[in-house]
Amino acid sequence: MRGKFITLEGMDGAGKSTHIPEIITALESRGFEVVNTREPGGTPLGEGLRRILLHEAMHPETEALLMFAARREHIAQVIEPALARGAYVVSDRFSDASFAYQGGGRGVTAEKLELLESWVHPDLQPDLTLLFDVPVEVSVQRLANARSPDKFEQESVAFFTKIRNAYLSRAAKSPERFRVINSNQPKDRVKQLLLDIVDTL
Ligand SMILES: Nc1ncnc2c1ncn2[C@@H]1O[C@H](COP(=O)(O)OP(=O)(O)OP(=O)(O)O)[C@@H](O)[C@H]1O
Ligand SMILES: [Mg+2]
């Protein structure tokens, strides 16, 4: 039986990495094989592109193309083989992040991103996308406490407001796939919300 593809999305500092181990533990305790991966990255080539993408300035469309190039390799090497053998794939970001960051944030048109999406994964969409949603000020504050910023994290509040809005409008277009998680509440509450959703898979 084919596995399931679960993606985590949301702004920097929204809480994705914090809660991934809990999701994985919950799925493994039910006996599933779980593949924990991330974007950009997930393969040696993808991790190489990640280092460039997170630290070097480039044209917005170059950024979009490299994101989808890394994604093509990720799907071929990791995601599809895992789903085919029945594993659950949990990915920290996937194409919705391109629509939010390169689209909403950098202004690459939806038409171009949809073209890349239909090229790179015409028949694949996540079975479930957990969108971690927090007010921009909260995510900025959390990151300021947590670590030194990468290229994206150095952007302005205006940029992150566009990211958040792009994510929410993408979620509104595919309500059957998305669950929007209010992650502006204590971690224990967020964890419980997530476990309740994962239990239904
Ligand atoms: N519900 C919460 N309440 C308070 N702090 C939180 C909460 N969730 C996460 N944090 C803190 O916010 C910081 C960022 O969280 P995390 O690294 O999980 O975000 P992320 O969504 O993975 O961000 P990025 O996209 O940049 O990787 C961490 O220091 C984490 O401990
Ligand atoms: Mg993270």
Taking only the tens place, the pLDDT of each residue in 35-71 is 999 999 999 999 999 999 999 999 999 999 999 999 9
Which atom of ligand 1 is least distant from the CA of 92? 22
Atom 26, ligand 1: residue with shortest CA distance: 12
Q: Is 15 in the pocket of ligand 1 (CB under 6 A)?
A: yes
What does the pLDDT look like over 174-190, one tens digit per residue? 999 999 999 999 999 99
Q: Which of 70, 61, 111, 119 is nearest to 91 (CA)?
A: 70
**Predicted pLDDT of residue 17:** 96
Distance 15 CA to ligand 1 centre (A): 4
Q: Is 183 in the pocket of ligand 1 (CB under 6 A)?
A: yes
Ligand found nearest the CA of 149: 1
Give me the chain's average pLDDT, please. Answer: 96
Which atom of ligand 1 is least distant from the CA of 187? 1
Q: Has residue 107 got a pLDDT over 90? A: yes
Of residues 42 and 149, more confidently modeled: 42
Which atom of ligand 1 is least distant from the CA of 186? 1
Distance 126 CA to ligand 1 centre (A): 22
Atom 11, ligand 1: residue with shortest CA distance: 142
Residue 84 corresponds to which amino acid?
Answer: A
What the block records as the tokens of 69 is 């190039």
On the 0-12 / 13-18 / 19+ scale of CB atoms within 10 A, 84 is exposed
Q: Which of 115, 118, 125, 103 is nearest to 177 (CA)?
A: 125
Q: What is the pTM of this model?
A: 0.95
Q: 159-165: list long-range contacts, CB under 8 Å, 24+ apart.
A: 159/105, 160/11, 160/12, 160/105, 160/136, 161/136, 162/104, 162/105, 163/11, 163/100, 163/101, 163/104, 163/105, 164/11, 164/133, 164/136, 165/104
The pocket of ion ligand 2, defined by CB under 5 A, consists of: 16-17
Q: Residue 149: is the preceding peptide bond cis (ω within 30°)?
A: no
